[in-house]
Amino acid sequence: MAEPMTITEKILARACGLEEVHAGEFVNAKLDLALANDITAPLAINEFRGAGLEKVWDPERVALVCDHFVPNKDIKSAEQAKQVRDFAAEQGIEGFFDVGRMGIEHVILPELGIVVPGDVVIGADSHTCTYGALGAFATGVGSTDLAAGMATGEVWLRVPETVRFVYSGTLGRYVTGKDLVLDTIGRIGVDGALYQAMEFAGEAVAAMPMSGRFTMCNMAIEAGGKSGIIEPDEVTMEYVSGRARREPVLFSSDNNAVYADVMEIDAGAVRPQVAKPHLPSNAVDAEELSGMDIDQVVIGSCTNGRMDDLRMAAEVLKGRKVAPGVRTIIIPGSQHIYQQAIKEGLVDIFIDAEAAVSTPTCGPCLGGHMGILAAGERCVATTNRNFVGRMGHPESEVYLAGPYVAAATAVTGYVSVPEEVLA
């Protein structure tokens, strides 16, 4: 009889064809998906070619998404995208997403049902951990490891220990998954879950929509996590229904599973958060920064570019104007979300508020384009990292927040909680 296992151990055991695996063991797991973007795919393709490889193991299980420097900002980014485009055509990869049919990778792959519960996914992007919200094991790897994965359909790794985070209570008004995960990272630090699976559970998570769950798992890497994961439930299956391209496999942790640690957090006590420069762990209640002038607001990214996020922003911006001197950039996470935002009148709200609405792109998040900061400028962003120079000049500052705080800040021109605008 198998020993008790966590959801992560069960998913990896299945992928290895074993009855059980446990934390600390090294395994070869079969992949359900390997993915890369326009920055990391060229490196992986070069490694693939350099090893003399000719064919990916399964063109239906490889996804390549041009989302970081698109629409291309310069010749170099255009050449990188062309290399990915040519490789996808050569290999017959249907899961290739380019301008006009693309979106931010960690938004569109779940949206299109390319990732499903029970999957093992590697991606040459650190925020691949986003897919754990579906009850999948998903983790970021380097481009060399991705090349090996594309060739063999397997990944070699050490089974991570799991830390279970149990959130009790009910989230307060204007408190979202972003605030909950920033608060958590603030408690444990940027290496507080190093090479561990962060398992999010409890009544506050169970009551959370998929958008909030994606946000929480997305930022597991910001605490050093190998992955983030949430057990699939009715909310998950409602999201997956009609999307899944293959049969989901549902797992849950055994009641007596072994955890490295269990951390209990009163979610009802968490207030809207802002992470100060230059670490996501520098999280404080947004009220503590009230009155700090801001030059730019960015709402979007793989962390907060979904419909729920845009609806939150629109709730605050409706009938109001962005403060003079504040540049506000809103980026839907996919073409579908962009279109839905148009249908719901959200884009009209944003434009009437004098915000700029962009085609889906990761651009500003990594300081790529469409929102670069100059020296001395401050930005409140719904992105996931605020390292030195992350969004432009090394003397600029990025403050991480959820859509409510970001939109309220856009209206006032200084760091604000939504109550200041919506009262």
Say if 209 falls within a structural domain. yes
Q: Mean pLDDT over residues 284-293, rounded?
A: 95
> 348 near 363, Cβ under 8 Å?
no
The answer on 213 and 80 residing in a single domain is yes
Distance CA 55, CA 199 (A): 36
**3-class secondary structure per residue, 372-416:** CECCCCEEEECCCCCCCCCCECCCCEEEEECHHHHHHHHHHCECC
Last residue of a domain, one of 218, 243, 265: 265
Cα separation of 396 and 294, whole Å? 11
253 in the same domain as 301: no
305, 333 contact by CB (below 8 A): yes
> Can you give 216-273 as a three-state secondary structure string?
HHHHHHHHCCCEEECCCCHHHHHHHCCCCCCCCCCCCCCCCCCCCEEEEEEHHHCCCE
Dmax (CA) for the chain in angstroms is 66
255 and 278 in a single domain? The answer is no
Residue 423 confidence (pLDDT) above 90 = no
Q: Please indicate, yes or no, if residue 320 is contained in any of the structural domains.
A: yes
pLDDT per position as a tens digit, 153-175 = 999 999 999 999 999 999 999 99
Domain span at residue 109? 7-265
Same domain (yes/no): 82, 40: yes
Asked if residue 281 and residue 193 are part of one domain, the reply reads: no
- List the CATH number of the domain containing 313: 3.30.499.10
Q: Do 307 and 238 share a structural domain?
A: no
pLDDT single digits (tens) 246-282:
999 999 999 999 999 999 999 999 999 999 999 999 9
Res 2: pLDDT = 72
- Is 1 a member of any domain? no
234 & 357 share domain: no
Together in a domain, 227 and 290 = no
Label residue 421 by pLDDT band (50, 70, 90).
confident
Same domain, 43 and 96: yes
Co-location of 320 and 244 in the same domain: no
Give CA–CA dist 223/211, Å, rounded: 20
Taking the CA atoms of residue 115, residue 117, residue 122 and residue 125 in that order, the dihedral angle to the nearest 10 degrees is 60
Q: Are 114 and 245 in contact (CB under 8 A)?
A: yes
| 95, containing H or E segment | strand 95-97
pLDDT given at position 35: 97
Q: Which of 265, 287, 309 is the last residue of a domain?
A: 265
CA atoms of 74 and 331, how far apart (whole Å): 20
Domain count, the chain: 2
Spatial CA neighbour of 381 closest among 288, 306, 304, 287: 304
Residue 306 domain-assigned? yes
Return the closest-CA partner of residue 172 out of 287, 281, 276, 280. Answer: 287
2 assigned to some structural domain: no
Q: What is the enclosing helix (H) or strand (E) of 140?
A: strand 137-140
Q: What is the pLDDT of residue 385?
A: 95
Gap between the Cα atoms of 397 and 208, Å rounded: 30
Q: Which residue has the tokens 């958060």?
A: 273
- pLDDT at position 301: 96
Q: Is the pLDDT reported for residue 414 higher than 90?
A: yes
Mean pLDDT of 51-74: 95
% of the chain with per-residue pLDDT over 90: 97
Model pLDDT for residues 11-60, shown as the tens digit of each residue: 999 999 999 999 999 999 999 999 999 999 999 999 999 999 999 999 99
Is 334 found in the same domain as 192? no
Query: How long, in residues, is the chain?
Result: 423
Within 10 Å of residue 389's Cβ, how many Cβ atoms? 13
User: Is 113 found in the same domain as 37?
Assistant: yes
Q: How many CB atoms lie within 10 A of CB 421?
A: 18
The residue among 243, 265, 287 that closes a domain is 265
Mean of all residue pLDDT scores within the chain: 96
**Sorting pLDDT into bands at 50, 70 and 90, what band is 284?**
very high
Helix (H) or strand (E) holding 11: helix 7-16
Residue 1 has pLDDT above 70, yes or no: no
Residue 60 per-residue DSSP state: G
**What's the CA gap between 24 and 2, in Å, rounded?**
17
